[in-house]
Amino acid sequence: MDPETALDFVKHSATLLLLDVPQFTHVGIDTQMFSVGPSFMGIKMIPPGHHFVYYSSSNRDGNEFSPITGFFIDSSPSEVIVRKWDQQEERLVKLAEEEEERYSQAVRSLEFDRQLGPYTLSQHGDWKRLSNYITKSIIERIEPIGGEISVAYESVNDENIPKTSMEKALAEQLRSSKFSKSVDKSQKRSCYYTSIPRIIKHKEIRGQELTSLNLDKTQLLESILMKDYGGDEDLLLGELQFAFIAFLMGQSLQSFLQWKSLVSLLLGCTESPLHTRSQLFTKFVKVIYHQLKYGFQKEHTDTGGAEKGALTLLDESWLSADNFLRHLCKDFFSVVLEAPVVDGDLLSWTRKFKELLEDTLGWDFKLKSAVDGTYCEDDDEFAPVVEMLDDSSYNEGLAA
């Protein structure tokens, strides 16, 4: 980029000015990570739109890091977003309006230009594919009070944490001394995610019909789409992307569990992909394809130790034998790829998704059953669970 074009880009793109951030702190935006040096004061040339900013403070030697804290921003052309490091709380805070305006004018006058690292525009495509359904309204609906997402502030009950190796590792981080900052209960804050029941329970339904509802999550999906998203499929996909980003970049355990719940819901449908919601499932498969394609990359440029920690956990989990995704994908691929009639775009993207998992992880999705003697007892752990309820039970999932 020639100097004149670069200057024009600086003036018409957004800037994130970061004041007094300690040296060695990791600061990230979207898919890019910076390690703070003595002159670093933020990031320039940020394309307008929503972005995820995250950071992890370091000890004096730069070899131990605090839990990541992240927040979404929605930037407009020429906007300057200013944050200052609060040494006592070890976090970035907003300035008073008058002070922020003074710094904003200084940025526009290029007084800080040499201290600002450029946003790597060649990586913006990756970010757009990870976040194309996220909107300002979705961010405002889901983000916690104050906007900061951090595992250190989350309250997750042990009984809500399933037993895959990835979830065990994240839960252990949450409990470990390194991650257990002294946070009082009044400071606990979590994202406002949509509640996704794992099991459909209905006191008016018995036997085979209830079993059918749990084998095919189509009716549950329809109920959630209407009740929680007003029928807007893109809102569900936006929440799926929000959760993945908050987990992968922000190392949020709550966000991983929400991502897993939404993925399990969608991959658990057999009727809607082929008939009523083919367009939704085409978009969903594209979303999860790009999420995992990015997450499986062994090396990312412009990253430091903080993001790498999340990616290591991701890889180890997908390769483990107890992974939920492998079992759900096997059934979903069977539904789509063996259907006599299926939407062409859904078929194409499902094949690409299957090939990604096979080529990257070596997973085998050949159909297996008890009939051919290759049934694996481990599959029982991931089969739909059906519970018979007495009249005193309350409905979950489907409306009465």
By three-state DSSP, how is residue 237 classified? Answer: helix
CB 180 within 8 A of CB 210: no
Cα(83)–Cα(306) distance, integer angstroms: 20
Which residue bears the tokens 């927040």? 71
Cα(73)–Cα(166) distance, integer angstroms: 28
127 CA to centre of own chain: 12
Phi, then psi, of 235 in degrees rounded to 5: -65, -40
Q: What pLDDT sits at residue 389?
A: 39
Taking the model in full, what pTM does it have?
A: 0.84
Q: What pLDDT sits at residue 187?
A: 62
Cα(314)–Cα(300) distance, integer angstroms: 14
Q: What pLDDT sits at residue 253?
A: 86
Q: What pLDDT sits at residue 390?
A: 41
DSSP3 helix / strand / coil % (the chain, rounded to 5):
45, 15, 40
Q: Minimal CA–CA distance to 154: which of 246, 254, 14? A: 254
Strand partners for 49: 75
Number of helices (H) and strands (E), helices first, in the chain?
13, 10
In the predicted model, residues of the chain with pLDDT beneath 50 are 159, 177, 179-180, 207-208, 210-211, 301-312, 368-400
Pairing mode, strands 26-29 and 49-56: antiparallel
Phi, then psi, of 176 in degrees rounded to 5: -65, 160
Q: What pLDDT sits at residue 82?
A: 97
Q: What pLDDT sits at residue 360?
A: 86
Answer left, alpha or beta for residue 397, where phi above 0 means left and psi between -120 and 50 means alpha: left
pLDDT, tens digit, for every residue of 225-280? Answer: 999 999 999 999 999 999 999 999 998 889 988 999 999 999 999 999 999 999 99
By three-state DSSP, how is residue 351 classified? Answer: helix
Which run of H or E residues covers position 306?
Answer: helix 305-319
Cα(281)–Cα(11) distance, integer angstroms: 40
Cα(64)–Cα(26) distance, integer angstroms: 11
Helices (H), 28-183: 97-108, 124-131, 136-142, 165-175
Q: Which domains does the chain have, with CATH numbers?
A: 3-125 (2.60.34.20), 149-382 (1.25.40.550)
Q: What pLDDT sits at residue 66?
A: 84
Half-sphere exposure of residue 147: CA atoms within 13 angstroms, side-chain side: 15
Q: What pLDDT sits at residue 152?
A: 83
In degrees to the nearest 10, what's the CA dihedral of 326, 329, 335, 338? Answer: -70
Q: What pLDDT sits at residue 2?
A: 76
pLDDT, tens digit, for every residue of 133-150? Answer: 999 999 999 999 999 999
Q: What pLDDT sits at residue 3?
A: 78
Q: What pLDDT sits at residue 298?
A: 59
Half-sphere exposure of residue 159: CA atoms within 13 angstroms, side-chain side: 0
Residues 6 or more apart in contact with residue 172 via CB below 8 angstroms: none
Q: What pLDDT sits at residue 380?
A: 41
